[in-house]
Structure 1
Amino acid sequence: MVKAVIFDMDGVLIDSEPMWQQAELDVFGRLGVTLQPHQTKQTAGMTTRAVTEYWYQQSPWQGVSLADTEAAVISQVAQSIASRGEAKKGVLRLLQQLQQQQLPTALATNSSQYLMDTTLDTLAIRHYFAAHCCVEMVAQGKPAPDIYLLAASKLEVAPADCLVFEDSYTGISAAKAAGMTVIAIPAAEEWQHEKFAIADAKIRCLSEFDFSSWSLPLR
């Protein structure tokens, strides 16, 4: 029986992937790293630090530290979220349903505390979550299971009793490694990709989630 629900943030609660893509193209481009839009998908789901290190290894730059580069990407994404961020289809309805059913809910994101707070405040959904977990709170980000295990611990629920919503293979791998049930929400262009077969189910958006299909306690 599912006793708690955990959400990823980017790509699940908010369509921030285009914002990340543009920020990476802009910031790394200024440093002389020539990227095409499709190349940013190679690092989808990774922490911002890991993305920065990845592109530095591919095309080293001088004059700007990795920490400052990472901060520049995060800052641009935060500005984009604050100015035009909107909850994805089905988010508010599902969060309201979970609240009505008194199911503990947590957020577990590979993003920074700053971006997590910006997103929660912009979408005005902070109050729906009993626990907020970001990458600074764990030793390793996704695909390591740390952040999902932390979320379960904060909710005081066994990992096996947690249902997770994830959009990336990296995140799905992390939740499965934590021993949780995972529903994948792939991007439209990746719907048929075999990598999502590791998830327990697959939906196109949160509005498709059907309570009757899962052993959720209905009060």
Structure 2
Amino acid sequence: MHLDSSDGPVRLDVAAVVVDCDGLLMDSESVWLQMVEQWLAEHGECDQDAYDFLGLSVDDTALRLLEAAGCSAGGDSIAAGELVAALSARYSGLLTAAVRPMPGARELIASLAGTVPIAVASNGSRQDVTRLLDQAGILAMVETVCTIEDVVRGKPAPDIYEAALRRLDVDPMRAVALEDSPHGASAARAAGLTVVGVNPDPTIEIAAHHRLGALDQISVIEPGRVAQGWSR
């Protein structure tokens, strides 16, 4: 794998690639942000930004939203479990065929699929993630999809990445994670993967080993041309 990073070209000897879904493969993160922003607006003013919820599971999002609502006099007493169900239903309803793959996502996965095993690791529900990937023509090109139903803890805990690597039977030191959010990058890094952060917004800090602005800065090198060794 070749990275055209801001620090110069980087070559990685890759045995497996684990990728996030929302905001990395699919342009669905804007839907999530819109939903969170609406909820915050409906439940009073507090010192909370919707971007703070990027990459979190719906369970963790619900808990933090309730904490945010408690910052105002109009805080809602809705139970966390009820909010999880409400958020999940609202998000699933907002996901339509209008959600498109991120630029270069389908092409990158297609090029990787012929060289290394690929897993998707997402805090989303299996129903939502597989539906999005299937609509985009990506689902059939990956070996496995790990979602929040497969683990006890979502990102930023490393559980989803650890589950994906077990399914692929690959050592984390030989795997690369592609992530666009701080929470996702923290999860992958805690699991021992080399993290490539892909986000065009330089103000969003991502704990990545390598930082890119777009997926088209990643290319696949034929196995015989990959440099020996591991670059982190």
TM-score bucket of the superposed structures, by smaller chain: 0.7 to 0.9
Residue correspondences, number: 208
Q: CA deviation at 1:90?
A: 0.8
- TM-score relative to the length of structure 2: 0.81
Tell me, yes or no, if structure 1 residue 200 matches structure 2 residue 209: yes
Higher helix proportion, which one?
1
Q: CA deviation at 1:161?
A: 1.0
Tell me, yes or no, if structure 1 residue 16 matches structure 2 residue 28: yes
- Quick one: structure 1 residues 70 and 34, their matched pair in 2 at CA, closer, same or farther if it must change by over 3 Å? farther
**Identity of counterpart residues, as a percentage?**
27
Give distance in 2, aligned partners of 1:88 and 1:139.
Answer: 28
Q: 1:133 aligns with which of 143, 146, 154?
A: 146
Give distance in 1, aligned partners of 2:93 and 2:113.
Answer: 29
Judge conservation of contact 1:110–1:142 (CA < 8 Å) in 2. yes
Residue aligning to 1:78: 92
- TM-score relative to the length of structure 1: 0.86
Q: 1:58 aligns with which of 42, 60, 68?
A: 68
Which structure 1 residue ranges, 5 or more long, are not aligned? none
> What code does the residue aligned with 2:98 have?
R
- Quick one: structure 1 residues 72 and 83, their matched pair in 2 at CA, closer, same or farther if it must change by over 3 Å? farther
Residue aligning to 1:88: 102
**What are the equivalent positions in structure 2 for 1:64-213 lying under 5 Å apart?**
64-101=78-115, 103-186=116-199, 188-189=200-201, 191-193=202-204, 195-196=205-206, 198-212=207-221
Q: CA deviation at 1:171?
A: 0.9
- Quick one: structure 1 residues 58 and 192, their matched pair in 2 at CA, closer, same or farther if it must change by over 3 Å? closer
Higher strand proportion, which one?
2
> What code does the residue aligned with 2:128 have?
L
Judge conservation of contact 1:3–1:217 (CA < 8 Å) in 2. no
> What code does the residue aligned with 2:223 have?
P
- Quick one: structure 1 residues 148 and 159, their matched pair in 2 at CA, closer, same or farther if it must change by over 3 Å? same
Judge conservation of contact 2:112–2:220 (CA < 8 Å) in 1. no
Give distance in 1, aligned partners of 2:223 and 2:188.
Answer: 21
Tell me, yes or no, if structure 1 residue 49 matches structure 2 residue 45: no
> What code does the residue aligned with 1:80 have?
L
Q: CA deviation at 1:75?
A: 2.4
SS of the aligned residue for 1:98 comes to: helix
Range with bigger deviation, 203-212 or 133-142: 203-212
Range with bigger deviation, 66-75 or 52-61: 66-75
